[in-house]
Amino acid sequence: MSTKIQYQFKKDNLTNSAPNKYKEGELRSEELVINLGPQHPSTHGVLRLEVLLEGEIVKDVVPHIGYLHRCFEKHAESLPYNQIIPYVDRLDYLAAINSEHAYAMGVEKMLGITDQIPKRVEYIRVLVAELNRIASHFVAIGTYGMDMGALTPFFWLVRDREHILRMLEWVSGARMLYNYIWVGGLFYDVPVGFEQRCTEFVAYLKPKLKELDSVLLQNKIFVERTANVGVLPMDLAINYGITGPMLRASGLRYDLRKIDGYSVYPELDFDIPIGTGEKGQVGDCWDRNQVRVMEIHESLKIIEQCVEKLTKEHKRTKEFDPQAIVPKKIRPKAGDFYVRAENPKGELGFFFRADGKSDKPFRCKARGPSFVNLSIISELAKGGMIADLIAILGSIDIVLGEVDR
């Protein structure tokens, strides 16, 4: 005879999954704990912030993550190396090609075929990665303006991002999750006329960025909401492992495209923008937004140079095959490997452990910049107003798919 087990409700069951750091009985009479998210537009996804307040002053912020956990690293253990790329796309889904580039370089390093990649393949990779970098920054800047109450720049940037998504769809067949950069090559060569379309897009976008600067960055209300808010000193950023525009906004000219010199970036001429404290202090929210805008200008310079290389020195030929050295079976030698690349949000790294026997990684660990950059929010928000917490979180530019992985 089977015994039916009835569920017994317990009050503690409501908090067992994600317990709060601050308990109700431990608070002083002036203190209040609120939950910001996980369903709130300013958290840019399913992030929950446990905020300890005294009036409107933030005393502590505790991020609660895991609502978008994708099991990426566990999936990677059960798939061949070349079949992991679609899952890599879904980490930072706003910059999928940049993530593919880092992953492909990692596996190529393990196989020892980095020097065999054709130059045309490398220039196409950089071209599409910089287009994707601009699209990612468009979302970061547009949604940040919306957080601060400026709606028009968001519509402008979504409009211009649409041009990029259509171009990338023309190349790969997908708008966001591309599976375009393969280990050893590409899914396909760029379509005929793609280089000309890139040139037209660069000419179109440059005056639009001037409009963005005047309407958003120089806007008096936007400056007052972001300047001198969430100041991140350089030493604190380094100690927390912060990378990307957040680190450069604190004054450190550190970009892996220059530091590591991977792919064909050493052959290209571009600058590394840093925060200067133009409107407030070095490393404040305004500086972080300004660095992203300046990086768009530098990406346009890179795109122009890639187009020139692809139409002259490394132009299209009938003999060119983007899959010429794509391995059918990937079985690297036993060992540990780490590769990193400069994604729009910072350093994306992949650690591989291969056993030398299988075509599946024994371990594939992803180091997501959004996860690391989010860790500093408590330091930046303490002592500020709750309205400033929204400004600080938006300036970090996170994607929850990369935070939770």
pLDDT tens-digit profile of 236-277? Answer: 999 999 999 999 999 999 999 999 999 999 999 999 999 998
Cα 121 from Cα 20, distance rounded (Å) = 50
168: pLDDT strictly greater than 60: yes
pTM of this structure: 0.92
Q: Where in the chain is the domain with CATH 1.10.645.10?
A: 73-404
Across 8-12, 61-65, 124-128, 279-283, which has the greatest mean pLDDT?
124-128
Cα 329 from Cα 331, distance rounded (Å) = 6
* Residue 78, both tokens: 């059960």
Cα 191 from Cα 243, distance rounded (Å) = 34
pLDDT of residue 211: 93
CATH architecture of the domain 73-404 equals Orthogonal Bundle (1.10)
pLDDT of residue 307: 94
Question: What digits encode the pLDDT tens for the residues 22-71?
Answer: 777 677 778 888 888 788 888 888 889 999 988 899 999 999 888 888 88
Average pLDDT over every residue of 72-94? 91
Question: What digits encode the pLDDT tens for the residues 301-349?
Answer: 999 999 999 998 888 888 888 888 888 888 988 989 999 999 999 999 9
183: pLDDT strictly greater than 80: yes
Cα 345 from Cα 137, distance rounded (Å) = 9
Among residues of the chain, what percentage have pLDDT more than 70?
95
Cα 262 from Cα 264, distance rounded (Å) = 6
pLDDT of residue 342: 94
Between 24-28, 63-67, 148-152, 187-191, the lowest mean confidence (pLDDT) is in 24-28
